[in-house]
Amino acid sequence: MYLHLGKDVVVRAADVIGIFNLETSTVGPITRGFLATAERDSRVTNVSPELPKSFILTLEKGVERVYISQISPATLQKRLENYSEQ
């Protein structure tokens, strides 16, 4: 199954490690450092030019990737749960 992150971007649901609220999770220095490193290593994909609400961490073919999405973490989590019930 696939998880739709916004616009035309989808990832394999099995590749999703975590879905995080961008507003609350980036308060800590460890998360900010992780995101800065991912950005520097070109592992961040911004899904939409709209105001971001979440970031999704995936492991795709052994490489961690971060997707920045305008969709709320709660909505993305519900989508994942719906896929796992099918």
- Mapped onto helix, strand or coil, the DSSP state of residue 15 is helix
Least confident of 14-18, 54-58, 63-67, 80-84: 80-84
The candidate with the shortest Cα–Cα distance to 15, out of 54, 85, 67, is 67
Cα–Cα distance for residue pair 3/19, rounded to 1 Å: 11
Mean pLDDT of 16-42: 94
E-strand ranges in 1-86 read: 2-6, 9-12, 16-21, 44-46, 54-60, 63-69
Tell me the backbone φ, ψ of residue 9, rounded to 5 degrees. -105, 125
pLDDT digits (tens, 9 = 90+) for 15-28: 999 999 999 988 88
- Predicted local confidence at residue 26, as pLDDT: 85
